[in-house]
C-alpha cells in the first residue's frame, strides 16, 4: 500500500496495523559523528503469558524530527513474528536521537521463541531487525 505526504511517497510496511501506544522518553543519545539516514535498530523486550505476547520497544529517531505518531504493523507471514514500528519523517543524517517507547500486545496461540522488530520510516527506510528472545 502506498500514498503520499509532503516528503513524497509513503510505503506502508508489510502486515496489518495493530493497536499500540507510544511516548517520548525525553532522553537523547548522541554520537560523535552524524549517522546515515538509515534508522537505528530498536531495543525490545517481549513476554508471553496466557496467549498474549506483550512487547515494549524503544525506537531512536532524529531529535530534529517532530514525531506525531508511531504505528505498529504485524507481519504474520514470517516464520518469526515480525513487527514494524513505523513513523513518517524526512530522511536525514543525524548525530542526536530522541528515544520513544512503543508498547503493544497481540494474541498468539503459541509462544514464539523469538520475535523480530524493525524501525520503519515510511518514506521508506528500514532499520536492521532486532531479534528478541520471548520470556515467560
**Residue 40 included in any domain:** yes
Say how far residue 36 (Cα) sits from the centre of its chain.
18
**Count of domains for the chain:** 1
Reported as a single tens digit per residue, the pLDDT across 79-136 is: 999 999 999 888 889 999 999 999 999 999 999 999 999 999 876 667 778 999 999 9
Domain that holds residue 58: 16-133
**Residue 96 included in any domain:** yes
Nearest-angstrom CA–CA distance, 50 and 110? 9
**Residue 2 included in any domain:** no
Residue 86: closest CA among 130, 44, 55, 122: 122
pLDDT for 9: 57
Q: Which residue has the higher pLDDT, 37 or 8?
A: 37
**Residue 69 included in any domain:** yes
Element (H, E) at 100: strand 94-107
Given pLDDT bands bounded at 50, 70 and 90, which one contains residue 5? very low
**Residue 10 included in any domain:** no
**Residue 9 included in any domain:** no
Q: How would you class 65 by CB atoms within 10 Å of its CB: exposed for 0-12, middle for 13-18, buried for 19 or more?
A: middle
pLDDT for 1: 41
**Residue 7 included in any domain:** no
**Residue 8 included in any domain:** no
Amino acid at each position: 500500500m502506498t500514498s503520499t505526504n509532503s516528503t513524497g511517497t509513503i510505503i506502508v510496511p508489510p502486515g496489518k496495523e495493530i493497536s499500540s501506544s507510544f511516548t517520548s522518553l525525553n532522553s537523547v543519545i548522541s554520537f560523535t559523528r552524524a549517522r546515515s539516514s538509515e534508522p537505528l535498530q530498536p531495543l525490545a523486550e517481549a513476554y508471553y503469558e496466557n496467549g498474549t505476547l506483550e512487547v515494549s520497544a524503544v525506537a531512536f529517531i532524529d531529535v530534529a524530527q517532530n514525531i506525531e505518531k508511531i504505528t505498529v504493523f504485524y507481519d504474520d507471514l514470517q516464520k518469526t513474528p515480525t513487527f514494524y514500528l513505523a513513523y513518517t519523517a524526512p530522511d536525514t543524517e543525524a548525530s542526536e536521537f530522541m528515544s520513544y517507547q512503543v508498547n503493544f500486545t497481540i494474541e498468539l496461540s503459541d509462544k514464539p521463541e523469538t520475535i523480530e522488530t524493525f524501525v520503519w520510516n515510511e518514506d521508506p527506510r528500514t532499520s536492521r531487525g532486532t531479534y528478541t528472545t520471548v520470556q515467560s
